[in-house]
Structure 1
């Protein structure tokens, strides 16, 4: 394990915006439990698709998109607040 200092652009929380040494742009640190929930939700979409349940797949995918949009908004706001251009 290597210890490094990182720049924190938002509060810690479950999805902190941080920049590691040597990186031009910050990234998003997602806690392990949140990552597991994200994986579970995607597995639910896949299972619904395999079962031919397009309505359930669309509903869950829509919720995932909403969550990812909120995360991207938080990331973009953090970059804007620190006058960092977006990498996309």
Structure 2
């Protein structure tokens, strides 16, 4: 294991915005349990699509999209607070 210093731009319960040494743009650190939940949601979405459950797939995708939008919003807010342009 290597210990390094990183820039913490925004603490987060499930997704902290950090910049690693040598990187121009920050990233988001997602907790392992949150990553596992997101993976499960995508698996459920995939299963709903395979079963032709359009309504279920839509519900699952909307929930996942809302979660991703919340994380992206936090990321964009942190960049704006620190005067960092978006990488996209």
The reply to whether TM is greater than 0.5 is yes
The secondary structure found in structure 2 opposite 1:45 is helix
Q: 1:42-57, aligned counterparts within 5 Å?
A: 42-57=42-57
Deviation at 1:8, TM superposition (A): 0.3
Secondary structure of 1:9's aligned partner: strand
Matches of 1:62 and 1:11, distance apart in 2: 26
Aligned to 2:29: 29
**In the aligned structure 1, how far is the partner of 2:12 from the partner of 2:36?**
18
Residue equivalent to 2:4: 4
Q: Name the Cα RMSD after superposition.
A: 0.7
Shift of 1:12: 3.9
Task: Give the distance between the partners of 1:86 and 1:42, measured in 2 at CA.
Answer: 26
Query: What residue in structure 1 maps to residue 76 of structure 2?
Result: 76
Matched length: 88
**CA offsets per residue over residues 10-66 of structure 1, 9 Å max, x none?**
124210000000000000000000000000000000000111101100110011001
> C-alpha separation between the residues in 2 aligned to 1:9 and 1:70?
16
Determine the structure 1 residue equivalent to 2:41: 41
Query: Normalising by structure 1, what TM-score?
Result: 0.97
Q: Where does structure 1 differ by over 6 angstroms across 4 or more consecutive aligned residues?
A: none
